Amino acid sequence: MQGFNDIGGLIIDMDGVLWHGDQALPGLTAFFATLRELKLPFVLATNNASITAEQYVAKLANMQVDIGIQEVLTSGMATAIYLSERYSPSETRVYVIGSAGLRQPLLDKGFILASEHDEEAVQLVVSGLDKTLTWEKLCMAALHIQAGAGFYGSNGDVTLPSERGFLPGNGATLAALAAATGVTPTTIGKPAPIIYQQALTLLSVPADRVIAIGDRLDTDILGAVQTGIRSVLVLSGISRESDMQALDYGPTWVMQDIQELTEALRQ
């Protein structure tokens, strides 16, 4: 396959690429065995900010794949990195809508997290997927933003695929807060290039030798295009090949799944 012999590293999405829910997709262990055999560095980069890197490592271990913490980059981690480069964590109070996958990286960077009902001034409001979202949390976040706090989102995914159908994602929360405050948030996850740029730094591989792997055109592939790196759309998740017809961008390659990708890497 043309262009597949100059790969120096991979940025890989997880849900829809490596698994569906808790079910590993066919070829998972062979895919990672091939990456190790070829000594191809990779970063598993996901918009999901609801769980921690440690939980992803444990999830893959349950699927018979061993990876290191340093090979995972969630949008929660990316948000903490981004903010720590622009604010002094020990002097910055943050009101967080979200779970441990967003809160823990911020704590690890030294930010001060405000409690749910704390009305004392904060410098930042950061929102990620929160499955215990309440009216009061929205009210507190909106009041802080209206008072001048910076407004950030770990990711802008409006919907969250589930066995029940498409549920409201963090993008829906951000939309509600934007409507209530008139302030547009800065989002860190895909398709914004921020998380990809951080993954490139972790890889220490030139961008023209890195390929992004994903199952969503509107996040994984658009993010790669906006970062200036090549990409593979795998058809094992959300997007279909026919979805590309209405877009003015697209992946470099389209493959059925990680099994086909593994074969291409081995050629």
Catalytic residue at 130? no
Report strand pairing: 186-187 vs 210-214: unpaired
Which is nearest to 188 in space by CA: 109, 74, 75, 101? 75
Which is nearest to 224 in space by CA: 10, 8, 4, 2? 10
Q: Is 248 annotated as contributing to ligand binding?
A: no
Catalytic, out of 6, 13, 108, 218: 13
Pair 219, 189: CB distance under 8 Å = yes
Q: Is 190 annotated as contributing to ligand binding?
A: yes
Catalytic, out of 6, 15, 66, 243: 15
Catalytic residue at 13? yes
The residue whose two tokens read 């441990």 is: 100
Q: Is 215 annotated as contributing to ligand binding?
A: yes
What is the C-alpha end-to-end distance of the chain, expressed in Å?
8
Please give the C-alpha separations between residue 155 and each of 2, 119, 151, 190, 211, in angstroms, as whole numbers: 33, 25, 12, 7, 21
Which is nearest to 173 in space by CA: 210, 129, 143? 129
Binding-site residue numbers for Mg(2+) are 13, 15, 215
Binding-site residue numbers for substrate are 190
Binding-site residue numbers are 13, 15, 190, 215
Would you name the residues annotated as active-site residues?
13, 15
